[in-house]
Amino acid sequence: MSDKKFTVIGLSDSHQQWFSPEVRSIISQGHIFSGGKRHHEIVKELLPAGYLWIDIVVPLDKVWVEYAKYESIMVFASGDPLFYGFAATLLRIFPECRMKVFPAFNSLQMLAHRILIPYADMVNVSLTGRPWKGLDSAVIRQCSIIGVLTDHKKGPKEIADRLLEYGYDNYTMAVGENLGNEKSELVSSLSLEEASSKTFSNPNCVILIKRDSRKRYFGIPEAEFAHLEGRKNMITKMPVRLLSLSLLELYDKHTLWDVGFCTGSISIEAKLQFPALEVIAFERREESRELMKENCRRFGAPGITEVIGDFMECDISGYPAPDAVFIGGHGGRLEEMVSRIYKVLNKGGLIVFNSVSAESCQRFRKAVESLGGAIEAEHILTLDEHNPITILKAK
């Protein structure tokens, strides 16, 4: 649709919009206009006689059907339409269209101006219809300033609750409500505890400001984890853990599966070192569910998905395919487990297995080779009074 033309004009929430003479002229010559109901209320007095308005409502499929009827459409959108905005969506749906954008300040810029904070280094995250992943990553990295676009389900209170749950009380929060609206704009600077106890009007946005740094581990001592009752040795020891993670080459991976997570030490260490990594952790022991949650809270590692049940029996089709897999437990079904993993492992993916016996070491080699894979690395570590551990990497 290279002949389709969009003119996208950014708005604030003000009912006294200022437009340049160029934009006013473009509006006066338009016929087909589109935007949300709120945008229509703001601009309707400026629109020429006989105009047609297309409401932008979800699901958007009906909007695209309406757009297909016209060659030229003028769209009003909030703030900067290319900043997590509607212009970016249009470019994805109509990649060959012609487009001109007239941006306004986005809400995070406006909030930064209201609280007089330089925002050149601000890390921007959108929770608008999106999962927590972007915010989790920014918080684990402990970015100094984090700008957050919110929605009705993930607002200032929910953000404060999440940070407090995982121990990130080293942030304060600025909240901008109805920014640009002359009658209802409100800007607040709050502690997370204060934000957690309040309700906020929509639309709003948030800027998180770091006061100081919390401890971020690189090699968590195993004694600091919560453990299974009476089974403190049921954990991948810190040196073995770090070597295993090194062999998984997670720097360029998207998804890690941790099979047999027990206390969650591998998953948590991986998440802290690679915050954008998707971590799916499997464990058959029901008691490990709360153990994982407790250790994630203790070390500040939100966003790990724990799956309780026998890995060999549970439905794995709904989870993102792994680029890397760590096998921490196999329940005597190692060959079957390796075969099941190979069927879903992304091309070029890696498996790392920690073997505690010569027998399981040999079984892993044979399983990998029978599937056309190869052992790329093998290391033996002996720690204190513990038996030697053989760490194998297969590709």
Phi and psi for 196 in degrees, rounded to 5? -65, -25
Residue 329 scores a pLDDT above 90: no
Token couple for 40: 């229509």
Query: Residue 386: pLDDT above 80?
Result: no
pLDDT of residue 385: 75
Average pLDDT, the chain: 94
Kindly report, residue by residue over 100-112, the tens digit of the pLDDT: 999 999 999 999 9
pLDDT at residue 338 above 70? Answer: yes
pLDDT at 235: 82
In the DSSP assignment, the letter for residue 83 is S
Band the pLDDT of 26: cuts 50, 70, 90. Answer: very high
On the question of pLDDT at 186 being above 90, the answer is yes
Predicted pLDDT of residue 126: 97
277 forms bridges with which residues in the sheet?
Answer: none
CA pair distance 140, 144, nearest whole angstrom: 11
Indicate whether 359 pLDDT > 60.
Answer: yes
Helices first, then strands: H and E counts in the chain: 13, 17
Q: Which of 92-96, 130-134, 385-389 has the lowest mean pLDDT?
A: 385-389
> CB burial class (10 A; 0-12, 13-18, 19+) of residue 379?
middle
Distance between CA atoms of residues 86 and 66, nearest Å: 16
Q: Where are the beta strands (DSSP E) in the chain?
A: 5-11, 32-35, 52-55, 72-78, 98-102, 123-126, 145-149, 171-177, 186-191, 204-210, 255-259, 278-283, 305-308, 324-327, 350-355, 375-381, 389-394
Distance in angstroms (rounded) separating the CA atoms of residues 346 and 249? 14
Residues 6+ apart with CB under 8 A from 154: 127, 132
Tell me if residue 212 falls in helix, strand or coil: coil
What residues form DSSP beta bridges with 349?
A: none
In this model, does residue 2 exceed pLDDT 70?
no
- For 222-264, write each residue's pLDDT tens digit: 999 998 876 767 788 899 999 999 999 999 999 999 999 999 9
- Tell me the average pLDDT across 177-200: 95
Q: List the structure tokens of 228.
A: 């299974």
Place of tokens 């919390």: 214
Q: What is the pLDDT of residue 230?
A: 65
C-beta of residue 308 within 8 angstroms of C-beta of residue 286: yes
Give me the pLDDT at residue 343, please.
94
Residue 191 above 60 pLDDT? yes
Residue type, 310: D
- CA distance linking residue 118 with residue 140, whole number of Å: 22
Q: What is the pLDDT of residues 139-178, one digit of tens each?
A: 999 999 999 999 999 999 999 999 999 999 999 999 999 9
Q: Model-level pTM greater than 0.85?
A: yes
What is the pLDDT at residue 353?
96
Residue 1 has pLDDT above 60, yes or no: no
Residue 380 confidence (pLDDT) above 90: yes
